[in-house]
A and B are shown apart, each in its own frame.
Chain A
């Protein structure tokens, strides 16, 4: 197991290097200039842009810039934002809590919906409940987050005027008031992300449970007189969860991507919105850092999925 992990981690190093080369090259070759806005501002003399470019080493060849970035990264220096004139790691750390909170709670909510609904649909297949659950699942994953997000804003903020649609990191008050405000403002973004996830997981859970419940050992369990509840929880659901757990782990990185849009709609100051604004401003160090974090997440969660799989299913061995 230890050797397996080590090997996987070592394989990850060249892939991360490859990713960083591609990212850097694409960013360097793309049109646009972090100081372009200065150039189109007649009040700023052109020399200012030139001085800044020289100061941040933008005039050097791409290869040299990449090597400089890489060596700094290896020393734990994430770079310096051209646009905000501050360290990139500070910027990312400022944004991380909001993203983690929103994504984390949406995942928990999605699981809380998907597991019971999926299991119950599978236990009573083709019942009215199953049909309704199916209907909502299809609606859920056919609608993109930017659409459900706007729909929610229209309904809950504008017509009903219940919830705010601007997410604030600085809500005042403390204690219950704070929790209440936080709940109100995160309700919509969390729900938007959770519904999308819950929809597909419900379907997975349902088919997984259906599959397992037809197996012989389930019949055996029933035959030896175990109560149906026991059969369901101890024998069916536990085994049916194995593929679902892998799926959840594998989908985590994709979720960070999906959250970018949601963050933009609700003005959540997360990593996603940082990425968007940096792309618009051609702020290369920040784009590099954020996309690199995403790349690491993909690799990490892939590994996690494999490890979890083996842990849940002892028949799988690592070599």
Chain B
């Protein structure tokens, strides 16, 4: 779809000829995320209607205890030190950002009075700044008022390299200015189309200046509030035992009427995902279980058991399990470095081989036999809610077509059935981490490849080594000393800008950057780089969208990577619990509105 077509379509939505929903569906068909599609409309002056969850309780409190089971428990409660999502979730009970991403990928105001946009003057037309109006009469748990100073301080705290905050990436390139006690302006160094990265969602939790001011910088770890959070959230801190328990009680002076519903909240950790699912679905000991990385077969059995007390909740997000093709040669050392971008891959330099591989990944079987509801087959690298995706993606399993492609390219079958050309045997090493579903997927790919005359050697590495940044270890995923590899990459923000950096040639992982570059495939495509840089400074969301669609098509068309399944978030909830989850933010983003149906 060309830029002009997009503009026409948006005009049609404006005039009411096309519904928002249809528009979003069409965009998804183009490989665009629903959140992104919504932002297109927002930019064009069509205010997004953030999905307002129905909230029935008519008074705050009285809901008893909310019991949540996190098999990986939070180990610290400072959101700016959070190492994994588990820590962010623990912090999110007590802290809040200015705005959160709802399940549709729309911004919902939390500590902000309204969402800035072009219409209300919040977003500068030149993309150089965004102005946030803060909510009035918000109190920290210790009674102090929440003001612009806290927001400005949070920005400075996180941006200070000596603090060693894990959120520094979202704050180091911005300048935060206090306009008045309830207004802050965020200044960017260059035109920034995606302005909602600081103070929003996962990385945006605001911390109180009066608690953290003496502990900004090198002595950040000594702050008492690191272990006893004081936030603005719906629940007040009671107790914290790292790795075991986070406990909170109702914040009686919460800034929204009739909320929160529960009197106490408990986040219990430890154990494993399967028994966590059991405790919610089968015995009903707990109300909610987080991140159930459990085979769907087991979940189905628990959910549909005779006296099941809970349901499984699947939330779409941007995580994609994909197979990467090494563009460099992993078997030859160049300047003391294997998989150096300077040497082209001997087999993959033939596009026919790469295209043949795309035809040999049996995504339907992977979904049907391995992941079920927890991994949906896809042909796109940027992904969407599951209920939309499968209809419009183009991918197929065709051994015949793959054979035909290879035959035409001159790869001849040898006596053992393995193809070769110019003395090069079509033999590939396929690596991934040790994880039952991944080994099964590897086997499916290997089988199909064999039928097409490609020999595949499977390799699996312990996850703790494979995903480590250990420079001395040859088996890490970023070193990529193999021809193919498979893992899940996560898109945490509902904007592909940061996500798509992983195919930029300037990001190529190499010895020089200690293999910390994000482009692990070592793929180099001038057109892609050009499109990405254009998108970076492109303030017109329509043009920007067209660029990202083009980038997605380049990645999967070439292919640099073969998408296999995208993996939504999986939780279990008691039948009575009413909660809206989001794949673009913490699962607890809307905790204030959680309640139990009686």
Contact = CB atoms under 8 A, between A and B. Distances in A.
A43 B270 contact: no
Given A84-B75, A166-B69, A36 B469 contact: yes
Contact of A33 (B272, B468, B518): B468
A47 B243 contact: no
B456 interface: no
Interface stretch (B11-19, B160-168, B322-330, B362-370): B160-168
A86 B227 contact: yes
B241 A269 contact: yes
B286 interface: yes
Given A31-B470, A32-B464, A166-B286, A269 B270 contact: yes
A39 interface: yes
Interface stretch (A66-74, A167-175, A228-236): A167-175
Contacts of A52: 164
A238 interface: no
Given A86-B242, A170-B247, A42 B518 contact: yes
Interface stretch (A137-145, A156-164, A246-254): A156-164
A182 B498 CA distance: 49
Interface stretch (B26-34, B118-126, B276-284): B276-284
Interface in B460-503: 464-465, 467-470, 473, 477, 489-490, 492, 498, 501-502
Given A38-B166, A51-B161, A274-B243, A85 B283 contact: no
Contact of A170 (B76, B245, B502): B245
B227 to A, nearest CB: 6
Contacts of B473: 31
A41 B493 CA distance: 13
Interface residues of B, number: 60
A39 B84 CA distance: 11
B283 to A, nearest CB: 6
A170 B467 CA distance: 36
A165 B277 CA distance: 12
Contacts of B283: 157-158, 161, 164-165
Given A169-B241, A266-B271, 19 more contacts: A31-B465, A33-B468, A39-B469, A40-B468, A42-B502, A47-B161, A48-B165, A48-B168, A55-B218, A81-B242, A94-B242, A95-B244, A157-B283, A165-B278, A165-B283, A166-B69, A166-B286, A269-B245, A277-B243
The 5 closest A-B pairs by CB, nearest first: A39-B469, A269-B244, A84-B242, A267-B270, A267-B271
Interface of B: 65, 69, 73, 75-76, 78, 81, 83-84, 161-162, 164-166, 168-170, 172, 203, 218, 221, 226-227, 239, 241-245, 247, 266, 268-272, 275, 278-279, 282-283, 285-286, 464-465, 467-470, 473, 477, 489-490, 492, 498, 501-502, 514, 516, 518
Interface of A: 31-33, 35-49, 51-52, 55, 80-81, 83-86, 91, 94-95, 153, 157-158, 161, 164-166, 168-170, 172, 264-269, 273-274, 277, 280-281
